[in-house]
Amino acid sequence: MGRIVKNNLVILLAAMGALVSMVIVPSSMGYVEYLNGPVLGILFCLMVVIGGFRESGVFSVLLSQLLLRLGTFRQLAMVLVFINNPVAVISPQPDCFVNKK
């Protein structure tokens, strides 16, 4: 039990804080309806897949191959921008652009 608490301390503290805030401010229970189950499920599955890739060492191999092929800092910066830019474009929720009445 102690190892579980030690490994998941941040999650446990966040859950305890959420429970305390619901007890202290009962009106905060209305925020539960803002949770989007499918989106949270997709994000959870994405994090599981990323965690699996990290544990298997795929990212280490990709990074080492990438660093061997790059010659300058400018090339590294361009690759990092190329990798991160699609994530920044895809990340916003489409619902935030719809005018809901």
Each residue's pLDDT tens digit, 37-89: 888 889 899 889 988 988 998 888 887 888 888 878 788 888 877 776 655 55
Regarding whether 25 and 49 lie in a shared domain, the answer is no
Structural domain contains residue 100: no
> Global pTM?
0.48
CA distance 75 to 68: 12
Query: The domain containing residue 29 runs over which residues?
Result: 1-34
Does residue 90 surpass a pLDDT of 60? no
Instruction: Please report the pLDDT score of residue 96 as a whole number.
Output: 55
Regarding whether 70 and 44 lie in a shared domain, the answer is yes
Q: Which residues have CB under 8 Å from 79's CB, separation 6+?
A: 66, 70
Regarding whether 91 and 42 lie in a shared domain, the answer is yes
Rounded to 10 degrees, what is the CA torsion of 81, 83, 89, 94? Answer: -160
What are the backbone angles phi and psi of residue 98, rounded to the nearest 5°?
-95, 130
Each residue's pLDDT tens digit, 9-20: 888 888 888 888
**Number of domains within the chain:** 2
Regarding whether 54 and 77 lie in a shared domain, the answer is yes
Regarding whether 77 and 58 lie in a shared domain, the answer is yes
DSSP 98: S
Regarding whether 24 and 44 lie in a shared domain, the answer is no
Asked whether 29 and 22 are in contact (CB, 8 A), the reply is yes
